């Protein structure tokens, strides 16, 4: 594709005749990935200034550089803009085509992965070729490929979206993280539906305060979703009304779900041994849905997913029927094992104060004896959330063990101390395996163990090293591998099918 076609109408950049005819061979944002004929995006980031690599990118064959007007570019076309990430994204979106016919995006502090995965499953049950991009990676019915981030960088994101479309995927959903939204990592392709799950404390190291964090999320409804698109909003959150207002001001079709919702109104929710029964008012009738997932939070995510499917051509009858066959999301209230004493061990990705409240709240109706919560907090992330996490863990559990969860570049003892400051009475065991073993040793038949923070993760990040660590596997090992609940080493839908067989 020629450079002129890629930038037409996007910037005032003045290309001379020759330059406009240059064919582009691809896009790169890391100078080490530039190939001859590529367009390089030189962005100022949190750690590096991409403008420092312009010369190297030109040497590697870049034909054009998208950068601020102040940047110095020699030997290639300078596509100058005050917001280079935005222009780069819009150009790349013209290059990476086609994209799936229906694209939806989910934002919110918690529940993005769950809602995306449940949406993918509902589409698939409707016979559609569907995929998701998010924390778990790029997931199709056949495989899951990790990208390393919740919202990948713009080149990875758009190239994957077009790759999926070429493979025949017609329906795709992605997680729009606040980092991703503020860095324009998901622009350019038509997004018909945006969904909001909730907003609570996280990532304030990056955004500074809740208002800025909220504004980052609002870009989804104000800029990313198409002008005539839809907003699926969980209506029961403290921030929901503000979200609805922003989406309305943009002229989006509003579809609210939850107890305060009008499109899908949650009338009641009754936990059962292995799931919950939802009574939902929709289209003038009340429907009974036997959801095979536990936890109020997963009911909320399932309803958001239903909202997305209903806004991309699904019918109420099908969606409610399919909800009764949803499979658990990996690492979200995943029952890893039942100990010899009879205590179930649940692995959950709760890594915020609100997430912990949600995970604990999901398990409490099932606890006859004690709830033992094992938790930690990530290094090089929001430090203010740590004592708050400790506080809610100790408040709602019978016993808490504070342990390590990806200390990254920080001193793990300092992270634990930050948590312990809010968790008077908690036990501290730095080594995560030892903490899990201790909890399993302590737990009796009526107890439940919640292993929070790492969910699906496969490693403990210590400094620059990733030490293999899988909460589910470790829990099974520590429990003497009594009763396996799920298999983790297969493609998503195959694993699910196998579980279905085991259950029947």
Ligand X SMILES: CC(=O)N[C@H]1[C@@H](OP(=O)(O)OP(=O)(O)OC[C@H]2O[C@@H](n3ccc(=O)[nH]c3=O)[C@H](O)[C@@H]2O)O[C@H](CO)[C@@H](O)[C@@H]1O[C@H](C)C(=O)N[C@@H](C)C(=O)N[C@H](CCC(=O)O)C(=O)O
Ligand Y SMILES: N[C@H](CCC[C@H](N)C(=O)O)C(=O)O
Residue set of the binding site: 108-114, 150-151, 177, 183, 185, 381, 405-408, 453, 457
Least spacing, CB of residue 63 vs ligand X, in Å:
16
Q: Which is nearer to ligand X, 43 or 346 (CB)?
A: 43
405 vs 447 by CB, closer to ligand Y = 405
Q: Tokens representing 366?
A: 């099932």
CB within 8 A of 10, min separation 6: which ones?
A: 87, 90, 91
Among 38, 99, 109, 113, interactor with Mg ion by CB under 5 A: 113
Going from the C-alpha of 204 to that of each of 67, 224, 384, 385, the distances in angstroms are 27, 23, 8, 9
Q: Are 436 and 474 in contact (CB under 8 A)?
A: yes
Residue 117 or 404: the one with the smaller Cβ distance to ligand ATP is 117
User: Taking the chain, what is the end-to-end CA distance rounded to the nearest angstrom?
Assistant: 53
Please give the Cα distance from 160 to 392 (Å, whole number).
39
Which of 81/405 has CB closer to ligand Y? 405
Place of tokens 């570019």: 73
498 to each of 39, 338, 482, 485, how far by Cα in Å?
Answer: 45, 19, 19, 11
Interacting residues with ligand X between 9 and 38 (CB under 6 A): 29-32
Long-range contacts of the stretch 429-434 (C-beta < 8 A, 24+): 429/401, 429/402, 429/403, 430/403, 430/404, 431/403, 431/404, 432/374, 432/376, 432/403, 432/404, 432/405, 432/460, 432/469, 432/471, 432/474, 433/469, 433/474, 433/478
CB of 307 to ligand Y, least distance (A): 23
Of the listed pieces 82-90, 148-156, 410-418, 471-479, which binds Mg ion according to CB under 5 A?
148-156
Distance of closest approach, residue 480 Cβ to ligand Y, in angstroms: 26
From 18-26, 97-105, 110-118, 331-339, span contacting Mg ion (CB under 5 A): 110-118
Centroid of chain to Cα 58: 35
Q: Does 180 bind ligand X (CB under 6 A)?
A: yes
For Mg ion, the binding residue among 107, 119, 135, 178 (CB under 5 A) is 135
- The footprint of ligand X on residues 330-369 (CB under 6 A) is none
The residues binding ligand Y (CB under 6 A) are 150, 351, 378, 381, 405-406, 453-454, 457
- Crossing angle of helices 240-249 and 210-219, in 10° steps, is 40
Eight-state DSSP code of residue 23: B
b/e 82-111 (16+ beta carbons within 10 angstroms → b): eebbbbbbbbbbbbbeebbebbbbbbbbbb
Q: Nearest approach, Cβ of 93 to Mg ion (angstroms)? A: 23
Helix (H) or strand (E) run with residue 395 in it: helix 385-396
445 counts as binding ligand X under rule CB under 6 A: no
Residue 113 interaction partner, one of ligand X, Mg ion, ligand Y, none, beta carbon < 5-8 Å per kind = Mg ion
From residue 283, alpha-carbon distances to 262, 265, 287, 325 in Å are: 10, 10, 10, 22
For 463, residues 6+ apart whose C-beta sits below 8 A from its C-beta are: 407, 408, 409
Among 179, 366, 391, 433, binds ligand X (CB under 6 A): 179
Residues shown for the chain: 504
Instruction: Tell me how many degrees the CA angle 134-135-141 measures, rounded to the nearest 5.
Output: 60
> Residue 348 binds which one of Mg ion, ligand X, ligand ATP, none, with CB within 5 to 8 A depending on kind?
ligand ATP
Query: d(Cα 200, Cα 237) in Å, to the nearest integer?
Result: 9
Taking CB within 5 to 8 Å according to partner kind, which of ligand X, ligand ATP, ligand Y, none is near residue 189? none
Q: Is 140 in the site for Mg ion (CB under 5 A)?
A: no
Structure tokens at 158: 């758009």
Minimum distance of ligand Y from residue 233's CB (angstroms): 22
Residue set of the binding site for ATP: 108-114
The residue within the footprint of ligand X, chosen from 149, 210, 316, 483 (CB under 6 A), is 149
Residues that bind ligand ATP (CB under 6 A): 108, 110-114, 135, 150, 175, 197-198, 297, 300-301, 332, 348-350, 354-355, 358-359, 455
Please tell me the count of residues contacting ligand X according to CB under 6 A. 19
Choose from ligand ATP, ligand Y, ligand X, none: what does 50 bind? Cβ within 5-8 Å by kind: ligand X
Q: What is the DSSP letter of 355?
A: H
Q: Which of residues 37-66 bind ligand X (CB under 6 A)?
A: 43, 45-48, 50, 53
C-beta of 135: minimal distance to ligand ATP in Å?
4
Q: Choosing among Mg ion, ligand ATP, ligand X, none, which partner's interface includes residue 53 (Cβ < 5 to 8 Å by kind)?
A: ligand X
Query: Which tokens belong to 392?
Result: 């809610």
CB distance 230 to 308 below 8 Å: no
Nearest to ligand Y by Cβ — which residue?
Answer: 378
Q: What minimum distance in Å lies between the beta carbon of 454 and ligand X?
A: 13
Provide the minimum distance between the beta carbon of 327 and ligand ATP in the complex, in angstroms, as a whole number.
Answer: 14
454 binds, among ligand Y, Mg ion, ligand ATP, none (CB under 5 to 8 A by kind): ligand Y
**Where do contacts with ligand X occur on this chain (CB under 6 A)?**
29-32, 43, 45-48, 50, 53, 149-151, 153, 177, 179-180, 183
**Where do contacts with Mg ion occur on this chain (CB under 5 A)?**
112-113, 135, 150, 175
């Amino acid at each position: 594709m020629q450079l002129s076609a890629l930038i037409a109408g996007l910037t005032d950049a003045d290309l001379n005749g020759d330059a406009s005819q240059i064919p582009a061979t691809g896009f790169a944002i890391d100078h080490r990935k530039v190939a001859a004929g590529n367009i390089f995006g030189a962005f100022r980031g949190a750690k590096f200034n991409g403008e420092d690599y312009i010369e190297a990118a030109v040497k590697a064959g870049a034909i054009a550089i998208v950068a601020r007007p102040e940047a110095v570019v020699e030997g290639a076309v300078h596509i100058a803009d005050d917001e280079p990430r935005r222009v780069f994204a819009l150009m790349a979106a013209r290059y990476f085509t086609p994209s799936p016919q229906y694209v939806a995006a989910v934002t919110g502090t918690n529940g993005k992965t769950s809602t995306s995965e449940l949406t993918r499953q509902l589409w698939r049950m409707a016979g559609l070729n569907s995929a998701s991009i998010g924390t778990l990676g790029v997931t199709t019915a056949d495989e899951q490929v990790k990208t390393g981030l919740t919202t990948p960088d713009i080149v990875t994101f758009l190239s994957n979206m077009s790759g999926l479309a070429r493979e025949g995927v017609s329906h795709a959903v992605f997680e729009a993280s606040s980092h991703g939204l503020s860095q324009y990592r998901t622009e350019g392709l038509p997004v018909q539906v945006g969904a909001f799950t909730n907003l609570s404390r996280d990532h304030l190291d990056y955004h500074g305060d809740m208002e800025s964090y909220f504004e980052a999320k609002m870009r989804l409804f104000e800029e990313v979703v198409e002008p005539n698109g839809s907003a699926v909003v969980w209506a029961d959150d403290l921030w929901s009304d503000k979200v609805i207002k922003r989406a309305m001001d943009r002229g989006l079709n509003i579809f609210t779900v939850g107890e305060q919702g009008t499109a899908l109104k949650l009338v009641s929710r009754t936990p059962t041994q292995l799931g919950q029964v939802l009574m939902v008012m929709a289209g003038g009738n009340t429907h009974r849905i036997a959801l095979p997932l536990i936890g109020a939070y997963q009911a909320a995510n399932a309803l958001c997913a239903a909202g997305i499917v209903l806004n991309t051509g699904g019918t109420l009858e099908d969606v409610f029927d399919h909800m009764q066959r949803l499979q658990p999301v990996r690492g979200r209230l995943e029952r890893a094992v039942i100990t010899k004493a009879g205590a179930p061990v649940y692995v959950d990705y709760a890594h915020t104060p609100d997430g912990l409240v949600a995970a604990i709240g999901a398990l409490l109706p099932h606890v006859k004896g004690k709830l033992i919560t094992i938790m930690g907090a990530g290094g090089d992330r929001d430090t203010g959330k740590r004592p708050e996490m400790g506080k809610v863990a100790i408040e709602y559990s019978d016993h808490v063990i504070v342990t390590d969860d990806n200390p990254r570049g920080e001193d793990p003892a300092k992270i634990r101390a930050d948590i312990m400051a809010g968790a008077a009475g908690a036990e501290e065991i730095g080594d995560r395996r030892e903490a899990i073993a201790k909890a399993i040793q302590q737990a009796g038949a009526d107890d439940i163990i919640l292993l929070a923070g790492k969910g699906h993760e496969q490693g403990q990040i210590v400094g620059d090293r990733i030490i293999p660590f899988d909460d589910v596997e470790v829990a099974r090992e520590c429990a003497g591998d009594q009763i396996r609940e799920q298999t983790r080493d297969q493609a998503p839908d195959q694993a699910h099918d196998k579980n279905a067989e085991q259950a029947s």
